[in-house]
Amino acid sequence: MKNPVRVAVTGAAGQIGYSLLFRIAAGDMLGKDQPVILQMLELPMEKAQAALKGVMMELEDCAFPLLAGMVGTDDAEVAFKDADIALLVGARPRGPGMERKDLLLENAKIFTAQGAALNKVASRDVKVLVVGNPANTNAWIAMKSAPDLPANNFTAMLRLDHNRALSQLAAKSGKPVGDIRKLVVWGNHSSTMYPDYRFATVDGASLKDAINDAAWNADTFIPTVAKRGAAIIEARGLSSAASAANAAICHVRDWLLGSDGEWVTMGVPSDGSYGIPEGIIYGVPVITANGGYTRVADLPIDDFSRAAMDRTLAELEEERAGVAHLL
Ligand SMILES: NC(=O)c1ccc[n+]([C@@H]2O[C@H](COP(=O)([O-])OP(=O)(O)OC[C@H]3O[C@@H](n4cnc5c(N)ncnc54)[C@H](O)[C@@H]3O)[C@@H](O)[C@H]2O)c1
Ligand SMILES: O=C(O)C[C@H](O)C(=O)O
């Protein structure tokens, strides 16, 4: 039996937590031979702590063979103690009519404090995925608040956008969703993101050529993916949860276990390539292996793409300026 991996999850009693924790404990994220210890954080409020207790009772009732231990707490330093993986989910979600950046100031404080707590007590190689919105800027805040940890280990979730784009492309082209390769979602997890299938292939053939519809790309595909979160909120009255949890599982699974040479989208601190200033957490295509990721480099950027990539960058820079005083 392998040694257990410590997985910290914040916002554990929330909607995403309720979809996420059971799949982690079932081995969907780290493999069916990898025991896990779940270290769950919730707000220090009676209702949140009671709900967390209920979630832990249900986890117990599943008798997951891979669940080697559980901690439920309202103290970030307890939740992050020696954590190998930290899924930062806990934050206020947006409601109808709000943009994700409307949550900026309210949620930013959480990520300053949690970055500092990770810095103090987590494993020195902790891999951090920020899900709570606005995810890119929150990841940047956490990274800046944890100067002793490797900056490249702070990532934001764009995998939900990536998966949404895959499904839209499969529906349009009639190709099986699992056969689409080399998709990218550039930039911010916000309505400015740029889903880009110029390089996408199915069985080695260009998907862009197969679709051959520039108007659909600009007028339907990009806005549908970019506004999907809002469409879910409109339909459900609540923001996406099971699909968000699934995307978090995909993101961490690929990061830790490798993507077998396939491209996946991760929000990672920029290395300055593609004209994105260093340090900004920006969605880019990466290939993952051995617990690390490598950017797909030197992709050609045409004028349409440059404009789209600059638009989402400008929003990230604006968000960063809006929280600079907290750091
Ligand atoms: N990046 C993405 O693709 C993506 C997708 C879906 C949702 N989200 C975001 O994820 C976040 C969580 O969504 P949800 O639907 O689970 O919300 P939710 O309100 O159901 O749950 C959030 C939970 O976090 C807890 N919480 C709040 N502040 C906390 C803190 N400082 N420490 C620990 N726990 C805290 C709350 O008590 C609550 O139980 C939201 O910000 C949402 O917008 C991101
Ligand atoms: O859109 C939201 O506010 C929730 C989440 O980020 C999503 O994309 O579904």
The predicted complex's ipTM stands at 0.99
How far, in Å, from the CA of 111 to the mean position of ligand 2?
Answer: 18
| Mean pLDDT of all residues in 235-258 | 98
38 Cβ below 6 A of ligand 1: no
Locate 229 and state its tokens.
């979160």
Ligand 2 contact, 239 CB (< 6 A): yes
Report CA(285)–ligand 1 centroid distance (Å).
25
| CATH 3.40.50.720 domain range(s) in the chain | 5-156
Q: What is the pLDDT of residues 198-213, one digit of tens each?
A: 999 999 999 999 999 9
Report which residue type is found at 77.
Answer: E
How far apart are the CA of 223 and the centre of ligand 2, in A? 14
Closest Cα to atom 2, ligand 2: which residue? 229
Q: Find the DSSP H helices in 199-272.
A: 207-211, 214-216, 222-226, 228-236, 242-257
- Two tokens at 101? 């950046």
**SS3 (DSSP) at 242:** helix
Pocket flag, ligand 2, residue 115 (CB < 6 Å): no
- Mean pLDDT, rounded, for 45-67: 98
- Does pLDDT of 1 surpass 90? no
Q: What is the pTM of this model?
A: 0.98
d(CA 131, CA 142): 12
Query: In this structure, how many other beta carbons lie within 10 angstroms of the beta carbon of residue 8?
Result: 31
CATH code for the part of the protein at 5-156: 3.40.50.720
Question: In this model, does residue 95 exceed pLDDT 90?
Answer: no
Confidence of residue 101 (pLDDT cuts 50, 70, 90): confident
**Mean pLDDT on 85-108:** 89
Residues annotated as catalytic are 189
18-44 average pLDDT score:
98
**Structure confidence at residue 270 (pLDDT):** 98
Q: What is the pLDDT of residues 182-194, one digit of tens each?
A: 999 999 999 999 9
Residue 281: pLDDT band by 50, 70, 90 thresholds? very high
- Cα angle 278, 157, 141 (rounded to 5 degrees) comes to 50
Numbered ranges of CATH 3.90.110.10 in the chain: 158-323
Residue 49 marked as a ligand binder = no
Q: 74 with 53: CB under 8 angstroms?
A: no
Chain-wide mean pLDDT for the chain?
97
Q: What is the pLDDT of residues 153-172, one digit of tens each?
A: 999 999 999 999 999 999 99
- Token duo for residue 141: 């805040």
pLDDT band at 266; cut points 50, 70, 90? very high
Q: Is the pLDDT of residue 73 over 90?
A: yes
pLDDT of 141: 97
Phi, psi of 134 (to 5 degrees): -70, 115
Distance 10 CA to ligand 1 centre (A): 8
Q: Which atom from ligand 1 is nearest to the alpha carbon of 100?
A: 43
Determine how many CB atoms are found less than 10 A away from the CB of residue 257: 16
Answer yes or no: is pLDDT of 180 > 90: yes
On the question of pLDDT at 99 being above 90, the answer is no
Q: Which ligand is nearest to the CA of 17?
A: 1
Between 1.10.150.120, 1.10.3080.10, 3.10.129.10, 3.90.110.10, what CATH number should domain 158-323 receive? 3.90.110.10
Kindly indicate the confidence band of residue 283, based on its pLDDT and cuts at 50, 70 and 90.
Answer: very high
- Determine whether the annotation assigns residue 236 to a binding site: no
Lowest mean pLDDT among 99-113, 256-270, 313-327: 99-113
pLDDT value of residue 307: 98
More confident residue, 93 or 311: 311
Place of tokens 């986890």: 59
Asked whether 100 lines ligand 2 (CB < 6 A), one says yes
Query: d(Cα 37, Cα 7) in Å, to the nearest integer?
Result: 6
Query: Which candidate, 170, 167, 138, 169, places its Cα nearest to that of 155?
Result: 138
What pLDDT band is residue 48 in, cutting at 50, 70 and 90? very high
Q: Is 266 in the pocket of ligand 1 (CB under 6 A)?
A: no
- The token pair at 92 is 């206020």
Mutate to test the pocket of ligand 1, among 20, 131, 227, 266 (most ligand atoms within 8 A of CB): 131
* Mean pLDDT, rounded, for 309-327: 94
Q: Which of 241, 196, 181 is nearest to 19 (CA)?
A: 241
130 lines ligand 1 (CB under 6 A): no
